[in-house]
């Protein structure tokens, strides 16, 4: 494989670091908060800033309007190399509570900390700093080669932090343009111990709200207790029966499509030496729970879950009130793995709840989203190529990891555009994304850009 002058590209990235940081700081100064209508113009400004930056490098770049915030689409001419779609998002989370920020969130700065130099500001890690690592890699590539890598398409979204309402319609409307050989997503992080990682599987999600209705009014517990149905008790009985004594979910067919770990993943995950007790100690706990016979990382990344996220009913104010409530509510979510079908899980859950509802009571359900898990085909040679490139840059073996959360766009790329995704990012758990004082390590920015340069070269 040709080296594509990789050493020259890496040297260019190193020498251009002060200018690259200045560009990132300028980008971070734009308060592109997608959830707040007061910042609609700022979101548009960020899209235009990004498109202008990409055009200056030689990309064909456009700001595409949607029913919400715009998309930025950029591309280079197709060549004989493998075509790639790179995705990131330029919108950011709100900054509340503002009083917990040490410095104004949209006055970013490079700071020295005991852990090293960091880029401080809203969006530094999620996701402006991350997406700019790829842009800077492309900039260095052009400086050395005189032209950008061929076969690149860039898609930058402005609504990721507000649920991506325009994304699926945009993918469907632009399927031919956006469908490439492989997708790359940068909105992820390093492994917990700081080594580089490729996230190869993401859990899906099903959300349901349940409302159990009993009497037509709240009842005095002295007059009706012991005789009238109590919807809180009904709901608690149904929810308690979701799991057996071994921690397994009891819904019929729930584990259909859940696969055991491959030898490669098991080896990679064991190499992380994950300490569940230490992980839980960060939130004031110490004892892992869950399905018996499973390792902690299996339970976090490869096993599905059923979790009660909220439950309400009756009197919850100060003091005490002896009532049997007329209704009770709960919110339940399921994290899915493998090829579990969200709609089958939803149907099985509703049937489960219905079995606990007395004839003179009723239940209503409200759907709160559903998406399947995303499992990448790591037998694609590109995954091993990228893994090797990351290992060379970081000086330690890169690993395939799972993610307990969901990044729906990876599944959307698979379902709508028909391509797998490599999720490679350089964030750290300490980056405080979505929280005050968000930061991104300068090392992550530097080595992130160098990593992308190596990966682009390796995939040529």
* CATH code of residue 136: 3.40.630.10
Q: Are residues 55 and 171 in the same domain?
A: yes
Q: Are residues 83 and 210 in the same domain?
A: no
User: Contact 231/361 with Cβ under 8 angstroms?
Assistant: yes
Reading the chain (460 residues) residue by residue, the pLDDT tens digits are 456 899 999 999 999 999 999 999 999 999 999 999 999 999 999 999 999 999 999 999 999 999 999 999 999 999 888 999 999 999 999 999 999 999 999 999 999 999 899 999 999 999 999 999 999 999 999 999 999 999 999 999 999 999 899 999 999 999 999 999 999 999 999 997 789 999 988 899 999 999 999 999 999 999 999 999 999 999 999 999 999 999 999 999 999 999 999 888 898 899 899 999 999 998 899 999 999 999 999 999 999 999 999 999 999 999 999 999 999 999 999 999 999 999 999 999 999 999 999 999 999 999 998 888 988 888 999 999 999 999 999 999 999 999 877 788 888 998 899 999 999 999 998 999 999 999 999 999 999 999 999 999 999 8
Written as six digits, the tokens of 40 are 């609609």
Q: Are residues 357 and 430 in the same domain?
A: no
Written as six digits, the tokens of 287 are 């004892």
- Determine, yes or no, domain membership for 78: yes
Give CA–CA dist 228/221, Å, rounded: 9
Which of 318, 348, 371 terminates a domain? The answer is 371
Written as six digits, the tokens of 118 are 């960091």
- Determine, yes or no, domain membership for 295: no
Residue reference for tokens 């005991």: 114
Written as six digits, the tokens of 117 are 């130099």
Q: Are residues 73 and 174 in the same domain?
A: yes
Q: Are residues 90 and 225 in the same domain?
A: no
- Determine, yes or no, domain membership for 277: no
Q: Are residues 68 and 121 in the same domain?
A: yes
Q: Are residues 177 and 218 in the same domain?
A: no
Which of 340, 371, 402 terminates a domain? The answer is 371
Give CA–CA dist 124/109, Å, rounded: 10
Q: Are residues 151 and 134 in the same domain?
A: yes
> pTM for this one?
0.85
Give CA–CA dist 450/6, Å, rounded: 9
- Determine, yes or no, domain membership for 422: yes
Pairing of strands 219-220, 323-324: antiparallel
Q: Are residues 143 and 22 in the same domain?
A: yes
- Determine, yes or no, domain membership for 288: no
- Determine, yes or no, domain membership for 410: yes
- Give me the domain span that covers residue 161: 6-202+373-458
Q: Are residues 53 and 176 in the same domain?
A: yes
Which of 321, 354, 371 terminates a domain? The answer is 371
Residue 240 belongs to domain with CATH number: 3.30.70.360
Q: 251 vs 26, 324, 362, 383, 387, CA distance in Å?
A: 51, 29, 21, 35, 38
- Determine, yes or no, domain membership for 137: yes
- Determine, yes or no, domain membership for 97: yes
Query: What residues are paired with 329 via a beta bridge?
Result: 211, 312
Q: What is the CA radius of gyration of the chain?
A: 25
Q: Are residues 365 and 387 in the same domain?
A: no
Looking at the structure of the chain, the number of domains it has is: 2
Q: Are residues 322 and 413 in the same domain?
A: no
């Amino acid at each position: 494989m040709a080296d594509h002058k990789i050493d020259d590209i890496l040297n260019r990235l190193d020498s251009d670091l002060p200018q690259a940081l200045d560009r990132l700081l300028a980008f971070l100064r734009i308060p592109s908060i997608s959830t707040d209508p007061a910042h609609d113009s700022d979101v548009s400004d960020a899209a235009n800033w990004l498109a202008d930056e990409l055009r200056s490098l030689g990309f064909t770049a456009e700001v595409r309007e949607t029913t919400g915030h715009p998309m930025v689409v950029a591309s280079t001419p197709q060549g004989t190399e493998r075509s790639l779609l790179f995705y990131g998002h330029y919108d950011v989370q709100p900054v509340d509570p503002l009083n917990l920020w040490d410095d104004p969130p949209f006055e970013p700065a490079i700071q020295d900390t005991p852990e090293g130099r960091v880029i401080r500001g809203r969006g530094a890690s999620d996701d402006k700093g991350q997406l700019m690592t790829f842009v800077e890699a492309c900039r260095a590539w052009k400086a050395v080669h005189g032209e950008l890598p061929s076969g690149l398409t860039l898609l930058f979204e402005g609504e990721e932090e507000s649920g991506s309402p325009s994304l699926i319609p945009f993918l469907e409307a632009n399927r031919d343009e956006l469908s490439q050989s492989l997708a790359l997503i940068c909105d992820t992080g390093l492994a917990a111990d700081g080594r580089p990682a490729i996230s190869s599987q993401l859990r899906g999600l099903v959300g349901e709200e349940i409302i159990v209705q009993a009497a037509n009014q709240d009842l005095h517990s002295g007059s009706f207790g012991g005789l009238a149905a109590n919807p809180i008790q009904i709901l608690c009985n149904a929810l308690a029966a979701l799991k057996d004594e071994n921690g397994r979910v009891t819904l019929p067919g729930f584990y259909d499509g859940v696969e055991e770990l491959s030898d490669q993943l098991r080896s990679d995950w064991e190499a992380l030496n994950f300490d569940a007790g230490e992980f839980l100690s960060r939130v004031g706990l110490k004892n892992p729970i869950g399905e018996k016979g499973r390792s902690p990382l299996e339970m976090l990344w490869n096993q599905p879950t059923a979790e009660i996220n909220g439950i309400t009913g009756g009197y919850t104010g100060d003091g005490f009130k002896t009532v049997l409530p007329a209704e009770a509510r709960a919110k339940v979510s399921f994290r899915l793995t493998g090829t579990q079908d969200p709609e089958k899980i939803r149907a099985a859950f509703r049937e489960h709840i219905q079995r606990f509802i007395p004839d003179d009571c009723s239940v209503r359900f409200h759907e709160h989203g559903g998406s399947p898990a995303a499992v990448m085909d790591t037998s694609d040679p590109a995954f091993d190529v990228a893994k090797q490139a990351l290992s060379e840059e970081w000086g330690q073996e890169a690993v395939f990891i799972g993610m307990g959360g969901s990044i729906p766009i990876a599944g959307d790329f698979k379902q709508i555009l028909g391509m797998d995704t490599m999720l490679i990012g350089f964030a750290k758990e300490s980056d405080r994304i979505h929280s005050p004082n968000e930061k991104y390590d300068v090392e992550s920015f530097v080595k992130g850009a160098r990593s992308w340069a190596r990966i682009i070269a390796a995939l040529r």
